[in-house]
Amino acid sequence: MFSYRHGFHAGNHADVLKHMVLVQLLEHMLKKDKPFWVVDTHAGGGLYDLTSSYATKSGEAETGVTTLWPLRNKKATPEAVQDYLAQVAKVNDKDDLHWYPGSPQIAAQMLREGDHLRLFELHPTEIKLLEGHFASVKRGVSIQCADGFSNLKGCLPPPPRRGLVHIDPPYELKEDYRRVTQTLKDAITKFTTGTYAIWYPEVARRESQQLPGQLKRLAAELPKVDWLHATLRVKAAEKGGLGLYGSGMFIINPPWTLYDRLAEALPWLVETIGQDDHAAYTLEAQQS
């Protein structure tokens, strides 16, 4: 159950999509003075060393952030990509790409005093890394060694009545796909106005291919709920394999600015980090 370690995959093409969208969601929420919460159901270790043996062995960062890093200040680089790379730059020294910030670190460095970051992580190694990473932080961050699926509903709605929920399980188990939809359904009943960001992998597994449709149907059952769905595929699916060839982000209650930002960024990413002729993107949205 606990074989998945995000350090092997940090900074890959899936992280690019996930964290680019996350940065855009946070930037939109920061435009209002009222505080808000960020809840991360599967937080991971927080910060990853791209020079470590496991990261260099996998080489997955080469499919994402390592290729984009030299382009962060170029005029042709889309604004959403530049915003994302600016957050990566905050944990690195000048031009040296050594560290990669996970979702908790990106949120932590963007939130203000009065905002709050609530983190769940169950992996025994990852929770120790996460707690160590935030050990010096005395306020604004809560960490719990617990199943984020089971505990999300209990912390909703957040006291400020503004919040972003990030649901990003490893999907090691087929059960994770079902739990995503059930957890989301339960959460929205308690916090209808929250923004929910669900990441999922594109792999040769039926559950992965069915999840976007299930999320759309769930959204359709809810009153006055908007959604946005974006995918980024960098290569053809491996025949008979479960290799990651792309990923998707499904957003409930997205900001109105997100579609246009992604419409600019996604085709550019296909051209920049796409690996073969099967590289592609999708972008769709539904307003209530």
User: Which distant-in-sequence residues (6+ apart) come within 8 Å of 32 by Cβ?
Assistant: 162
Q: In this structure, how many other beta carbons lie within 10 angstroms of the beta carbon of residue 187? A: 24
Flag whether 1 is in a domain.
no
Q: In the predicted model, is pLDDT for residue 112 greater than 90?
A: yes
Flag whether 53 is in a domain.
yes
Closest CA to 130 of 139, 119, 140: 119
For residue 170, the model assigns a pLDDT of: 92
155-166 tens-digit pLDDT: 999 999 999 999
66 is in which domain, residue-wise?
6-286
Flag whether 87 is in a domain.
yes
| Mean pLDDT computed over every residue of the chain | 94
For residue 238, give the DSSP letter: P
- Are the C-beta atoms of 164 and 26 separated by less than 8 Å? yes
Flag whether 279 is in a domain.
yes
Sole residue written with tokens 């350090």:
7
Alpha helices in the chain (DSSP H): 13-29, 53-58, 65-68, 79-89, 103-110, 124-133, 148-151, 175-190, 206-221, 258-273
Q: Per-residue confidence at 241, pLDDT binned at 50, 70, 90?
A: low
Number of domains the chain is built from:
1
Flag whether 133 is in a domain.
yes
Q: In the predicted model, is pLDDT for residue 195 greater than 60?
A: yes
- Are the C-beta atoms of 200 and 184 separated by less than 8 Å? no
For residue 26, the model assigns a pLDDT of: 98
- Over residues 236-241, mean pLDDT: 79
Flag whether 266 is in a domain.
yes
Quote the tokens at residue 254: 């997205």
Which CATH number is 49's domain given?
Answer: 3.40.50.150
Residues noted as catalytic: 168
- Over residues 30-58, mean pLDDT: 91
Instruction: List 40's β-bridge partners, or say none.
Output: 119, 166
Q: At what angle are helices 175-190 and 206-221 packed, to 10 degrees?
A: 20
Of 9-13, 53-57, 201-205, 230-234, which range is least confident?
53-57
For residue 285, the model assigns a pLDDT of: 97
For residue 7, the model assigns a pLDDT of: 66
C-alpha–C-alpha distance, residues 98 and 251, integer Å: 30
Q: Per-residue confidence at 2, pLDDT binned at 50, 70, 90?
A: very low
Instruction: List 260's β-bridge partners, or say none.
Output: none
Between CA 284 and CA 245, with CA 86 as vertex, the angle to 5 degrees is 45
pTM for the complete prediction? Answer: 0.96
- Using DSSP's 3-state secondary structure scheme, residue 13 falls into helix
Percentage of the residues of the chain whose pLDDT score is greater than 90: 87
